C-alpha cells in the first residue's frame, strides 16, 4: 500500500511562553532559549511543548529554530510526533515552517511525515496548515 497525502488545518493558543535568560547577549544580538506550551484546535486536537532558540537584533525578533513534541488526535488518529521549526522575518515578511521529524511518530501516527506552516493573523491569532502522509 502506498502513501496517501492528507491535509490538516486549525488554530492554536500559546498557553505558556517561558523566556529563559539569554545565553549570548552582545553587540545588540541576543540568543535566548524559550519554552512554549500550546493547545491545538481543528483537524489537530491536542497539546505540545516546544523548545525554541530565538534571535533578537536591534530590528527586533528576527529568527528562531526549535523542536516541538505534539500529542493528540490528528484527523481521528491518536499519537504524537515531533516538529522541527524554522522561522525568520525576511524582506517579504515573516515565514514560519514546520517539518515532521522522520520516525518520530507514535501510536496511530507512526510513520507520519510531512511539513506545514504557521500563520499569524493581524490580531495575533495563530493558525496552521500541515501537509502529511502516513505509511
For the segment 104-124, the average pLDDT, to the nearest whole number, is 93
Q: What is the H or E stretch that residue 118 is in?
A: strand 113-120
Mean residue pLDDT across the chain: 93
Reading the block at residue 104, the C-alpha cell is 518520530
- Structural domain includes residue 97: yes
The structure's pTM equals 0.90
Domain of residue 45, CATH code: 2.40.350.10
CA 104 to CA 95: how far, in whole Å?
Answer: 24
The residue range of the domain holding 22 is: 13-134
**Closest residue by Cα to residue 30 from 60, 50, 65, 68:** 60
For the segment 16-39, the average pLDDT, to the nearest whole number, is 97
For the segment 43-55, the average pLDDT, to the nearest whole number, is 97
- Confidence tier at 88 by pLDDT (50, 70, 90): confident
- Confidence tier at 1 by pLDDT (50, 70, 90): very low
Reading the block at residue 16, the C-alpha cell is 505558556
CA 22 to CA 24: how far, in whole Å?
Answer: 6
Amino acid at each position: 500500500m502506498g502513501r496517501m497525502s492528507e491535509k490538516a488545518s486549525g488554530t492554536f493558543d500559546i498557553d505558556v511562553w517561558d523566556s529563559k535568560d539569554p545565553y549570548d547577549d552582545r553587540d545588540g544580538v541576543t540568543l535566548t532559549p524559550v519554552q512554549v506550551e500550546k493547545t491545538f484546535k481543528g483537524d489537530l486536537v491536542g497539546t505540545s511543548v516546544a523548545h525554541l532558540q530565538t534571535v533578537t537584533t536591534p530590528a527586533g525578533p528576527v529568527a528562531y529554530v526549535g523542536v516541538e513534541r505534539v500529542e493528540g488526535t490528528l484527523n481521528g488518529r491518536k499519537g504524537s510526533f515531533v516538529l522541527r521549526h524554522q522561522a525568520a522575518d525576511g524582506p517579504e515578511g515573516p515565514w514560519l515552517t514546520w517539518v515532521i521529524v522522520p520516525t518520530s511518530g507514535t501510536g496511530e501516527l507512526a510513520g507520519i511525515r510531512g511539513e506545514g506552516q504557521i500563520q499569524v493573523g493581524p490580531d495575533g491569532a495563530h493558525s496552521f496548515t500541515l501537509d502529511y502522509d502516513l505509511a
